Structure 1
């Protein structure tokens, strides 16, 4: 191979590297823009969800879904909807679920509300501190006879919390798992959801209802700006590489 041919081959080889780098930068920028666009779409979905939930929690309560409609209940259409239901509390079958609230550590009191047709809906009657977990220490709140419950419809929380699993055998609960609690307490037909009771005061002051925390993190705009910003930086680097290559080719 002549010296001239060798130089030409080497130049072509070195020029191929910037070209490949430019292609990689272009693909990376496209991917980053794609992530940014996805976050914009997520922002729209989250904003719509927050608006729908806000409307539900401030609406007048409607009758809780009837037994025939239980299989149609889902989070998207029903969770956090204000509902009302009448029945009799089965206080002897209450379940305590560990809770950490603005009032401190303690327990949610989950009590079956027995309906006229013999079915049940689990009701989170509210919070009791650790030193009042024994029902004997809050007898006034063990309401007997027909009662109307108004609260927010919530979806079941199967298996446990993020940190701890429910220990069904030991009767230690870290989430409001409707099916598992119903089986443990020997209940029959039970709604696949539960109701967070509102702040209506119970006799004796316990349990304390109305402590539902409704919070949906909405950082999608920040994420979108971050992805788009990274994409712009990659494009700036691409322009620098291309301009440099053009400059060298003219030299």
Structure 2
């Protein structure tokens, strides 16, 4: 009688061990990811430096920078949606500084507001370098006739505006612009779903344990009835 319980008990314990190990692994991944996000946040908030002559998209991602220059007319509008303000545009312009032409993300403009001209004089921009990875296979092509883009495609934007493929996302522009709200770099867009995955595996472990218990209890009941 007891021998008949060995096999289901074995597979029950094996499945439970697998689900628990996957849950524990996701908890470890969660701790690892939180450490990475903390490092990125510390880098974003660091003391700003001059924009490197040849910034590297990996080594200089999130680098805090500060520069003084001129924002030129002719902004490209990138359609976005924010949780607090709804739909609107990011304005991407040419930023001329120290003989260079770079891209600058001036911030968020609500859909119901007219597109403002850039500041007439020199401005000091404090922000972060970034190469956002927003283009997917489902991203529509830019509507150039309406001046609406659907992602910050740095190589394409640089080619369109005749700049280096370097984007400064403004954290602060001095003097500030009316109707414009900076959308600075943060870690909110970096996925961190490990807690959810861990919870799923632990729930599956619990369900597996309950089903195994019911199965073994039913098997024992049938064995007693057959005596």
* Bin of the TM-score, shorter chain as denominator length: 0.7 to 0.9
SS in 2 for 1:165: coil
Do 1:201 and 1:209's aligned partners in 2 also have CA atoms closer than 8 Å? no
In the alignment, the residues of structure 1 paired with residue 128 and residue 27 of structure 2 have an alpha-carbon distance, to the nearest angstrom, of 30
Cα pair distance change 1:232/1:148, threshold 3 Å? same
Q: Deviations over 1:157-178 (max 9, x none)?
A: 3436x97524255442121111
TM-score, normalised to structure 2, is: 0.74
Q: Distance in 1 between matches of 2:176 and 2:202?
A: 56
Match of 1:123 among 104, 110, 114: 104
Consecutive unaligned residues in structure 2, runs of 5 or more: none
Match of 1:73 in 2: 57
CA distance in 1, matches of 2:138, 2:172: 28
Cα separation, 1, equivalents of 2:111 and 2:202: 49
1:217: how far off? 5.7
Higher-Rg member (1/2): 1
RMSD, aligned CA: 3.6
Residue number in structure 2 paired with 1:190:
165
How far does residue 52 in structure 1 lie from its aligned partner after superposition? Answer: 1.3
Q: How many residues align?
A: 219
CA distance in 1 between partners of 2:199 and 2:86 (Å): 37
- Residues 163-202 of structure 1, C-alpha deviation per residue, up to 9 Å, x if partnerless? 75242554421211111112223x15332xx222113454
Shift of 1:106: 2.1
Check the 8 A contact 1:159/1:165 in 2, yes or no.
no
Question: Per-residue CA shift, 1:129-152, capped at 9, x if unaligned?
Answer: 234444xxx34x43344x431112
Aligned partner (choices 195, 198, 207) of residue 221 of structure 1: 195
